Structure 1
Amino acid sequence: MLVMIGTFGLHNQATTNESLRTVYSDRTVALGALDIVIRATANNRLAIASAIIDPTPNNIQKQLAQVDNNRERITKNWDIYMGTYAD
């Protein structure tokens, strides 16, 4: 009887661990990637505003480089986000 209860408990623990792994990989990782996308998009808005406020060639080049860097981060993390399972 005790062996059966122990086996049942171990099986349920394995099922719970798998469920939590799924929650982590499908939800937490996705939210982290989405957070980076949102922050990089906001940073792009600030860079564009800075280029408009101070339209010197040096500042424009600096801000465009920042936008390009953010665009790469956005694309990479959007792909990560879209690669996760979400209901």
Structure 2
Amino acid sequence: MEAVDKKPQAIGKSRAVNTTKIHLAIDSYGLPIESEITAGDVNDCSAALELITRLSDAEAMVADKGYDSDCIREQITEKRGPCL
């Protein structure tokens, strides 16, 4: 039997269970401004790069340790400009 919809689904496997991750950027008031949905087995850093490119300029960014990598820090610095 073939699936009707051939679009990729954001569903991954974790210990034989289907999983999905929601990567969410919020503003200083806690309101969502951007989101990315991935399969649960996708590395957080992979989703962060796409999410950060869609964000407007900000003075600061706070993230979970899953997003802590040199590549992401460099992308944030380039987007924000040099630190004063």
Structure 2 length-normalised TM: 0.24
Q: Which protein has the larger Cα radius of gyration, Structure 1 or Structure 2?
A: 1
Structure with greater contact order relative to length (CA < 8 Å, sep ≥ 6): 1
Give the helix-richer structure, 1 or 2: 1
Give the strand-richer structure, 1 or 2: 2
Structure 1 length-normalised TM: 0.23
